[in-house]
Structure 1
């Protein structure tokens, strides 16, 4: 970068709106402590570099830009003398990161008044102590307010998730409790029937065969638990067949036994084997004893499924919250998406069809998984609300050059064109009063763009709305921030 220095002119500084109220002594101090530098067309400084200087345009044209993902997006272009940029927050000291918040370049040869960051900070503190205190209060107060609002948004999301998780956990827990109570009754009945069978010396010879049939029934019930469920028509036909067989042999309440036997995958061939082993006189007692055995196995399957479901939900909650994980790590995005969808299953509801179009071959990426889960939560919640809880939600992952793409697509009415530019603004919401804070997309934007150096875009037509999250495959060269949503989307001066 070719930079030429030249003498500073007090009259030229006085002509600038920024300095027009300063005294002669103050203008002379500026000329003595700072200087004039001329730049050829090209970069002056880059976003993220240490903020070492305060720049005031004297002549030329400048362009200010912000990094969005892999692209530099122009946010301002001006030739107005007196506009300033650079280290204008130096007076805040180490309470904020002293880096350039945007990139600055010139399009034509340009001249600047340049003052070092430490001299600018000293000037502000010495000349405008009251103004500095007020600016500190304004800046730091606004940041603290934003952090408090962000925490509130997270708590609201956590409350919603907690309610859904409680509901999801209650169902399998209640099922396990009911099954345990029924299991106790069936075991007691099985002991009674076995005692009756063993009490008759004439039946003792058949007990060995019955025990063998019992083991086979248990094995079949275990297989049935993992087999594809029968359809309603086929189930009804098989129950009719088994019930008719039982009635033909004079057994009362055959329909109740038929439902249990069919659920366990047992048919009339198995019943014939029981009849052959016991004989007509002992058939009723033997079948009722075996029915208790089969019911016991089915109830244990139900308890196992319920407890497995609880364990799965607890695992999803742990994955979602990342309570036992490092804040910054290399992660599988699909694990995060699966845990979020599982956590939100109750809120999504049965009327929304969820389609996963995952490219499982995608590599793991460096990220803040807890915060990405918050992004997924916000985007899924918005999609479900937009569809009025009925429709199709498609979550897709795919490679996108040097980024990983995560897309959330819903079949809702779409986002009107006139408000698409505003959806990422803080406090902007289309939800009824009391149902939305207007911060979900703003927080998501800052997590994806500011925190992960990625990109978040919206595409929408009626029946097809897509939020597209692009995340870099590799870590940024600089250390990531520790708080992804503590700083607002800062605009250059």
Structure 2
């Protein structure tokens, strides 16, 4: 809060490192076009306000902070005379955002030099054309480079996900194709068997066989899952029974009957109905064909369901045909990401999920959050060298939703822990990644969602925690690489 304006002293401005190279005419211009104001302790401007003025500290103390979740996180505290904040980049024009990405407040009564943003832009362009041109090229060039590399990393991730999806789709597709080819053989064999069995079995026996067939098919979904050893033992029992009854095809039909849950008691029931005559083997062939046919249909159903699930996960992950900012189920986003990354995660990583199903929908940029989950999961798998336990947990903490992704890797060394969210910082070997994954994730979580992204790490237990605010709010905006004020992130 401004209490009063005081005269501007050219001598005081000349003593500041910002203005020490200016001549008398330029310093006089600053005093005539700017002003010196005394602020009581309190807010001078707030994050997301339009940048209207450039501030220089003459006396007192300032604090720069940023919104993290529902709290202001202090970034820098200074009493250094000449420290500046506010609209320090309006001379870039529309090339960068002209809103403020931090909050400035005075901790005690402070005196500041204040210059309107448009006048500050004008003197920068007039007094320092060449340095401004170089600064603009450097600043915007870095932004364009970072944007291009970020896009390249997204394309690499898309390629990796596409390969993973193709791999995951290939298995059920191949299974469906195998089952379809087998169906043709089963149907042809079934027609031949029915033609032969009709001559050897009378009508009443045939009706009893149809009843047994219906009962067997009805109980097919309830067939117990046997261990490999128990399966082998059961197949041997059925094969021995077939051989004891003089049937030659027992070795071929036994695996199907075991898969359907049949045992020796079932075989005895069929034998009681048909008798030990010449029609017994045809009866078992017919039952084998019908059961095998049903198993093939089940395999096709399972495979196509798996394909449908993968396609749904891909749509959920990419957020195709959906508005960019909307309320979503975070658990669904995480599950779709895990499904899309199944091939990347591999069989040697155990995935443990602890998802709070009572979480309310959260307003987010869903596609960008999926990129965060992808970055964190891929980093965890890489850290564990493809072996270990990946934990994904969600919970509610008051007015925030918490997403935690943990791994059992060696951990993040304490000496680099404060740098892992910096752009281009990476511990991976050259060529393994540009070091933008965590920086992009930080910008999405903190910059666009006003949340928080943090890490806790020790050997065997590393956890990245994302906190997102609950409740409807206006969408955030991406923050620039540089920060308004005396200190960056």
Range class of TM-score, shorter chain? over 0.9
Work out whether residues 325 and 475 of structure 2, in 8 Å CA contact, stay in contact via their aligned partners in 1. no
**Distance change (3 Å), C-alpha of 1:245 and 1:488:** same
Work out whether residues 65 and 102 of structure 2, in 8 Å CA contact, stay in contact via their aligned partners in 1. yes
Work out whether residues 245 and 268 of structure 1, in 8 Å CA contact, stay in contact via their aligned partners in 2. yes
TM-score by length of 1: 0.94
Work out whether residues 313 and 340 of structure 2, in 8 Å CA contact, stay in contact via their aligned partners in 1. yes
Equivalences for 1:4-83 in 2 at 5 Å? 4-83=4-83
TM-score by length of 2: 0.94
Is the partner of 1:280 in helix, strand or coil?
coil
Q: Report the equivalent of 2:394.
A: 397
1:417 is aligned to 2:410 = no
Q: 2:481 aligns with which of 470, 474, 488?
A: 488
Q: 2:236 aligns with which of 227, 234, 240?
A: 240
Is the partner of 1:133 in helix, strand or coil?
helix
Work out whether residues 197 and 204 of structure 1, in 8 Å CA contact, stay in contact via their aligned partners in 2. no
Superposed displacement of residue 461, structure 1 = 1.0
Partners of 1:418 and 1:479 lie apart in 2 by 35
**Distance change (3 Å), C-alpha of 1:290 and 1:459:** same
Partners of 1:354 and 1:412 lie apart in 2 by 14
Q: Report the equivalent of 2:321.
A: 324
Partners of 1:373 and 1:12 lie apart in 2 by 52
Q: Report the equivalent of 2:369.
A: 372
Q: Report the equivalent of 1:211.
A: 210
Partners of 1:128 and 1:73 lie apart in 2 by 35
Equivalences for 1:21-420 in 2 at 5 Å? 21-200=21-200, 203-224=202-223, 229-281=225-277, 282-420=279-417
Cα offsets for 1:384-419 (capped at 9, x unmatched): 111111111111111122211111111111111111
**Distance change (3 Å), C-alpha of 1:382 and 1:480:** same
Is the partner of 1:389 in helix, strand or coil?
coil
Superposed displacement of residue 491, structure 1 = 6.0
Partners of 1:333 and 1:385 lie apart in 2 by 24
Partners of 1:457 and 1:134 lie apart in 2 by 35
Structure 1, gaps ≥5 residues long: none
Cα offsets for 1:285-305 (capped at 9, x unmatched): 111111111111111111111
Cα offsets for 1:396-452 (capped at 9, x unmatched): 111122211111111111111111112112222222222222111111111111111
Using the TM superposition, name which of 86-95 and 178-187 deviates more: 86-95
Partners of 1:437 and 1:28 lie apart in 2 by 48
Partners of 1:431 and 1:5 lie apart in 2 by 54
Is the partner of 1:56 in helix, strand or coil?
strand
Partners of 1:255 and 1:492 lie apart in 2 by 81
Cα offsets for 1:366-394 (capped at 9, x unmatched): 11111111111111111111111111111
Superposed displacement of residue 205, structure 1 = 4.6
Work out whether residues 447 and 476 of structure 2, in 8 Å CA contact, stay in contact via their aligned partners in 1. no
Residues matched between the structures, number: 485
Q: Report the equivalent of 2:438.
A: 441
Partners of 1:43 and 1:221 lie apart in 2 by 72
The two structures, once aligned, show a CA RMSD in angstroms of 1.9
Work out whether residues 458 and 465 of structure 1, in 8 Å CA contact, stay in contact via their aligned partners in 2. yes
Partners of 2:161 and 2:260 lie apart in 1 by 36
